[in-house]
Amino acid sequence: MMKKVTTKTLLEMKRNGEKITMLTAYDYTSALIVDSAGVDIILVGDSLGMVMLGYDSTIPVTMEEMVHHTRAVVRARKRAMVIFDMPFLSYQTGKRDAILNAGRALKETGCDAVKIEGGKEQEDTIKALVDAGIPVCGHIGLQPQSVNVYGGYVLRGKGEEREKLIEDAKAVERAGAFAVVLEKVPSDLAKEITESLSIPTIGIGAGKYCDGQVLVFHDMIGMFDKFKPKFVKRYAEVGKEIRSAVESYVKEVKNGVFPGEEHSY
């Protein structure tokens, strides 16, 4: 039986210099593929709002939607750690709400940990969650739930923001998080943060010096093409293949080719 990835596993990987792999998954079938391929962490990201539900941002995503999708992912995994991405306003309204919602995530889905956005301003909340027995992955740099404050999906950590981001990372570690996602920050800053922390950093648009990397599953296989950030690498063009297959099916049914004798009883 495969040994499950835990928070201890990730800390050991950082100490040993072994890179950590994280991908999103939002349903049973995708999670089966991701888990069996050897990914260390499956993030049930609130990005499902855009790639699965058709929202324009992550803001509308609810706890109910996150619980529904995470349950499906947990049913599929055998080895990977599963992290539940806490949606907008499920933790920003105070420590009590954060504990109740994060506790619900663990109890109702069987996930292993939660992820929340925010640095120093969320230090007390992260500590409260950890003190309540809930493992937390932090998320600093570009925070998609705050995109309306930033005025877009802009690079974070330039100029005067640099020192703030370093302090954010230290605050997340100090609060007891087991890892932190660094999103869309300069590579040299991500390197400095990674070297200064004892917990792993997981980069997305943060260069090669992080302890691990994360991408959205639908982005890296070419299933979602509404936009393509610079940091995304396409490892396949599955969307085009599926479209071609569907077009062939439509054509064959229209022309009476399918079903053939071999598909009939």
What is residue 23's three-state secondary structure?
A: strand
Asked if 179 and 10 touch (Cβ cutoff 8 Å), the reply is yes
Phi/psi zone of residue 111: left (φ > 0), alpha (ψ -120 to 50 degrees), beta?
beta
Q: What is the DSSP string of 206-248?
A: S-TTSSEEEE-HHHHTT---S---TT---S--HHHHHHHHHHH
What is residue 20's three-state secondary structure?
A: strand
d(CA 264, CA 2): 41
d(CA 140, CA 238): 31
Q: Is 213 exposed, middle or buried (0-12, 13-18, 19+ CB in 10 A)?
A: buried
Phi/psi zone of residue 184: left (φ > 0), alpha (ψ -120 to 50 degrees), beta?
left
Q: Which amino acid is at 2?
A: M
Phi/psi zone of residue 151: left (φ > 0), alpha (ψ -120 to 50 degrees), beta?
left
183 an active-site residue? Answer: yes
User: Which among 65, 117, 173, 183 is annotated as catalytic?
Assistant: 183
Residues with active-site annotation: 183
